Amino acid sequence: MNLSRFWSARHALTVVFLMFTLAACFPTSQHPIALSGETDVPGIFAGIWEGSLGDGQATLVFMEQASEKLGTARFHGLIIRHKEGKPSINEGWLEFEAEAAQIRGEIFLSALLKQLDGKPAEIHEQGYYLFRVQTMGDDMSLTGLDDMVTTELINRGALEGTVSRSSGLPIVRLTEDSLSLRAFLVNADLDEVFSESFAQFTRQK
């Protein structure tokens, strides 16, 4: 995800808070979920979407693929945070690169943070954020991995990963390879594993 240009100290704090929330609440993965023949980006990942991210308003913008990149399942997007009560004022934006895997008739996003406020992601911010994407008409919700459930899965050996508490809050990182992640989701209780709401958006026409 990418943020650019000069921001005031308050805007910078907003971005730092958002990334701290991501790191503290959502496990990251060393690898994306493996694709299985997906060569095109699902049609929902296009255009402009408005909605909420955490406790604030946000805009989700998908960038069109360049013609030479058509036929791949990878795409880019921006998430723009808006000032509370003043949606015309932006408080920061994140740029991400993602792939969409289709499993059990559902879509799962592997989103890689690229830049924050115009700066490349730091080492501790790097990694894939895994989301379950659910749609109904022009509405889309993204749900992230539950950190406690993921920690339990790691502890009992159902998934490979690490849990670090060096910063106070547990930082959960999956090290399972891509194919194993896909195989796990084929039989997982999706409502239990993906239970942390990340964002809700509505497509703009």
pLDDT score at 94? 82
pLDDT score at 36? 87
Contact 132, 146 (CB under 8 A): no
pLDDT score at 178? 96
pLDDT score at 123? 63
Contact 28, 174 (CB under 8 A): yes
Residue type, 189: D
**d(C-alpha 55, C-alpha 57), whole Å:** 7
Tokens matching residue 114:
């690229």
**d(C-alpha 61, C-alpha 48), whole Å:** 5
**d(C-alpha 112, C-alpha 115), whole Å:** 10
Residue 3's contacts (CB-CB under 8 Å, 6 or more residues apart) are 15, 92, 93, 94, 95, 115, 116, 117, 118, 119
pLDDT score at 70? 53
Tokens matching residue 73:
């399942």
pLDDT score at 22? 53
pLDDT score at 91? 60
Summarize the chain as % helix, strand, coil (round to 5): 20, 45, 35
**Per-run averaged pLDDT (10 residues), the chain, 205 residues:** 38 43 72 86 90 85 65 82 61 84 94 77 76 95 94 95 78 94 96 93 91
Closest CA to 1 of 60, 54, 47: 60
pLDDT score at 113? 84
pTM: 0.82
Tokens matching residue 164:
């670090």
**d(C-alpha 151, C-alpha 33), whole Å:** 18
